[in-house]
Structure 1
Amino acid sequence: MLFDDTFQTISAPAEGFFKDKGSKFHGYAFPISGDADARQHLGELRELHPKAVHHCYAYRLGTDKMSYRMSDDGEPSGTAARPVLNTLYLRNVTNLLVVVVRYFGGTLLGVPGLINAYKTTAEDTLNEANVVTRHFVNRYEIAFSYPQMNEVMRIVKEMELPVLSQQFEMQCAMKVEVRVSATELFVTRCQKIEDLTLTLQ
């Protein structure tokens, strides 16, 4: 297969914790599917921890090593978000946001201390998470007329496609998820049905 459409992520949010010289580091990991998810979780954590001095984070999307975002949120450059991002690469997980919320304890940790604290918190948080294998998918809307129903349902059944929504009237519509690796086959099969239109969502 030219394109591997599987990836590792976590099944549910997880939390971790680390303490050093009075500073407390709360770690949070969330499975995400895009930038909007990440922004929402970051906003919720800022409401949850309004008195924290830093909300440092890193997240990855997809399997491309270049598809990431990170923020040191006022910590010295390279001491907070980079160790968190490196942990995501080392664990080979993606579609995942890790946020480390810091409460300052009064004693400066120095650059090595900060790097260690953020790295350790990220590791501890991911240790608490359940890592699962997922697939990249495309979402399609299939529009067809009622007489074509059996042919469409056969494709859906044989390819085991998750159905997200459906409406059956004279004009029918169905939204399905198709694994990226199976997309070509799916499109080819659909094109053989008369009067069927496919729309990539």
Structure 2
Amino acid sequence: MPDDDDAATDVDDAYLTLADRADASFTVQGSEFLAHAAPVESVAAAEAFIEEIEAAYDDATHNVPAYHVRADPFREYASDDGEPSGSAGKPMLSVLQGREIENVCVVVTRYFGGTELGVGGLVRAYSGAVKDVLDAADIVEERPHEAFSVTVDYDDSGTVRGILESEGVEFEADYGEAVAFEVRVPVVEADALRDRLRSATSGRVDP
């Protein structure tokens, strides 16, 4: 997609994002504005959310997207989707920047009500829609996570599972011929967790 902007980000920094999806709506001079927001962890997830909203509201006059994603490097994107240049996408992106909310995608759907709002009116409407949906959302502080896999024999599986549970990290276990753990852990804690797993299994685990 065009108009993206890359900037470096420190992967160890905590950041604000959404706990879950949120929606908000209002009407201005007959035009209905529906704001949709979702937490996303990649550009692909953001684009998939945009496509989902476009498909769900394919009869709308406009579906205007904007997102901030903590990729490597940082990515942000906005489009006016047929509205006058600078009247929709960038004002929405400015709200995300001002609120310092990351890993988030917003789409504002507009059903035209017959009255032109002018560029100033559109800026107020689209930025207001994003403010409303963020106000409706549950904002949480998150830390960057990474995922890794650990495959062990059954003899070591109880030790590994016990460590993962004691550390309070997210994981899923698949019990087959061996036991495969899919682990999701904050980046700043990942190396220490790997070291603990290696030590506890005398090096039989090499995540």
TM superposition score normalised by structure 2? 0.82
| Kept after mapping to 2: 8 A contact 1:7/1:63 | no
Equivalent runs, 1:72-91 vs 2, <5 Å: 72-91=80-99
Unaligned runs of 5+ in 1: none
Secondary structure in 1 aligned to 2:151?
strand
Shift of 1:27: 0.8
- Say whether 1:34 aligns with 2:38: no
In the alignment, which of 150, 163, 171 is matched to residue 163 of structure 1? 171
Aligned match of 1:136: 144
The residue number in structure 1 matching 2:154 is: 146
- Call closer, same or farther: CA 1:114–1:99 in 2, change over 3 Å: same
Match of 1:181 among 171, 188, 203: 188
Question: Do the aligned residues in 1 keep the contact of 2:42 with 2:71 (CA within 8 Å)?
Answer: no
Residue 194 of structure 2 aligns to which amino acid in structure 1? V
Matched length: 196
Partner residue in 2 for 1:125: 133
Match status 1:196 vs 2:201: no
Q: What is the one-letter code of the residue matched to 2:182? A: K
Match of 2:5 in 1: none
Residues in 2 aligned to 1:148 and 1:194: alpha-carbon distance in whole angstroms: 11
RMSD (Å) for aligned C-alpha atoms: 2.4
Instruction: Return the alpha-carbon distance in structure 1 between the equivalents of residues 134 and 72 of structure 2.
Output: 20
Letter in 2 for 1:43: E
CA distance, structure 2, for counterparts of residue 31 and residue 97 of structure 1: 6
Equivalent pairs: percent with the same residue?
Answer: 31
Structure 1: distance between partners of 2:12 and 2:68? 17
For residue 183 of structure 2, give the secondary structure of its aligned residue in structure 1.
Answer: strand
Q: Which amino acid aligns with 2:114?
A: G
Whether 1:44 aligns to 2:52 is: yes
- 1-side partners of 2:155 and 2:56: how far apart? 54
Q: Secondary structure at the match of 2:150?
A: strand
CA distance in 2, matches of 1:74, 1:137: 37
Q: Give distance in 2, aligned partners of 1:76 and 1:63.
A: 29
> So what's the TM-score if we normalise by structure 1?
0.85
1:184 CA drift (Å): 1.8
Matched, 1:55 2:63: yes
Structure 2 alignment gaps of length 5 or more:
1-9
Residue 25 (structure 1) aligns with: 33
